[in-house]
Amino acid sequence: MSPDSDWTRRRAVEIHDETATKFLIEYTGKNVFESPFLYGRQLIDRTWAHCVSQLPPRAKCLDVGCGVGAHMSRLLKQGFEAAGIEPSAEMRRLAKMNVPADLVSDGSVLQLPAPASSFDFVYAIEVFRYLDTRDNERGHREIVRVLRPSGIYFGTYVNKWALDGFRQLTQLRRLTSRLTRAPVRYHVEFETPSSLAAKLKQVGFSDVSVHGAMLAPLRILHKLSPWLAATVSRHTMPHEEWLSDSRSNRPFAAHLIAIARR
């Protein structure tokens, strides 16, 4: 792979080593309206839970980039079999505080440590955003490989035209980096609903659907006034299905969620 791919992978791991404790604290938050992270994860988790509800009893699940093990813990409590891979050593350390240590191992979506057709459910939450286009394709092919026929894949992605201006901010940071010769903090891979669906179908997924989640301007509002953002969020949450996942609004949502079957 190219040096650029090597850099994106390395920086993804380093960033998560640096921010692991912050992620753990965020996951322990109880008020979903107090931060855009919790609000967005609440919406992602709703869709994730719907996928879980479709699994057979004792289904085998793989958490790609399991982080602190929050989702694995939920699966285990529901009686499912779960394993997690996580390339960040600090994330693995924290995950082993939440789930049995032998269920979490070092690993990458680029080479999943499992035989073909091993899992009923594979999910990757906020993983592919840190990898470049070629690694995204390679990782998607690996997930197809380890899924059983009709197995479910669930993954989240960064929306290219989200109304929080994140892509434009990322472009500005890259320009600033070139002018000042300062290093870019990490890579961000952007998708649109149509581009994501096409890429997943190309590597072998079927029944692909892409959904939007989170009214993106709430992120900006949280930076301006956390109190006002929390107030507004309470009113937007009941209407998120239309605000973020209607056909006209999906291209501008903060998160994209892909659901597909092998």
* Residue 12's CATH number: 3.40.50.150
pLDDT at 260 over 70: yes
Identify the band that residue 180 occupies on the pLDDT scale cut at 50, 70 and 90.
confident
pTM for the predicted model, two decimal places: 0.95
Query: How many structural domains compose the chain?
Result: 1
| 59, 123, 137, 144, 206 from 151: Cα distances, Å | 10, 11, 19, 9, 10
Domain containing 128 equals 3-261
Torsions phi, psi for 208 (to 5 deg): -80, 130
Start-to-end CA span in the chain (Å): 26
By DSSP bridging, strand 104-105 and strand 81-85 are parallel
**Partners of 155 in beta bridges:** 124, 258
Mean pLDDT, rounded, of the chain: 95
| 7, 8, 159, 182, 207 from 1: Cα distances, Å | 10, 11, 25, 24, 30
pLDDT at 60 over 60: yes
pLDDT: which is higher, 205 or 29: 205
Say how far apart CA 191 and CA 194 lie, in whole Å.
Answer: 8
pLDDT at 9 over 80: yes
pLDDT at 174: 87
Say how far apart CA 261 and CA 154 lie, in whole Å.
Answer: 9
pLDDT at 228 over 60: yes
Q: Is 224 helix (H, G, I), strand (E, B) or coil?
A: helix
Question: Which of 26-40, 61-75, 188-202 is least confident?
Answer: 26-40
- Tens digits of per-residue pLDDT, 81-127? 999 999 999 999 999 999 999 999 999 999 999 999 999 999 999 99
**Partners of 153 in beta bridges:** 122, 260
pLDDT at 2 over 50: no
Say how far apart CA 46 and CA 97 lie, in whole Å.
Answer: 24
Identify the band that residue 185 occupies on the pLDDT scale cut at 50, 70 and 90.
confident
| 58, 65, 124, 192, 228 from 24: Cα distances, Å | 27, 14, 17, 29, 25
DSSP 253: S
Tell me what percent of the residues of the chain surpass a pLDDT of 90.
90
pLDDT at 199: 98
pLDDT at 3: 46
Say how far apart CA 11 and CA 251 lie, in whole Å.
Answer: 28
What is the pLDDT averaged over residues 31-51?
96
pLDDT at 61 over 90: yes
What is the pLDDT averaged over residues 219-233?
96
